[in-house]
Amino acid sequence: MGKFQDSLVTQYKKNQEIKSKQSDLKKKYNIPDENVVVVEKNNMIKFIIRTAGIIIRTAATICLLILAAAGLLTILYPEIRTPFLGVINTLTEQFFSFFP
């Protein structure tokens, strides 16, 4: 008898969870009709764009932190200022030689 009661309880809990999700979705999308079942689907393009945005934002933050650290080091230690500027000049010359 306990086996049947357990399955009834789990089924009841699942139904309650579905009803609560439906009520949340109806509130989210402002749907007053109770006879409508709202199905929310994931959009793959949105997912890809959001993921790409997060990756680009993270890469930009890392680059910004690296450049800030390099700038801070060149301000704090004057003896590395001249070699650092030489490296930067060489890098810019090589970059522009690839893209005429």
> pTM higher than 0.85, yes or no?
no
pLDDT in tens, 29-77: 888 887 888 888 888 998 999 999 999 999 999 999 999 999 999 999 9
pLDDT band at residue 8 using 50, 70 and 90 as cut-offs: confident
pLDDT for position 5: 67
pLDDT in tens, 75-99: 999 899 999 889 989 999 999 998 8
Q: How would DSSP label each residue in 19-80?
A: HHHHHHHHHHTT---TTPPP-----HHHHHHHHHHHHHHHHHHHHHHHHHHHHHHHHH-GGG
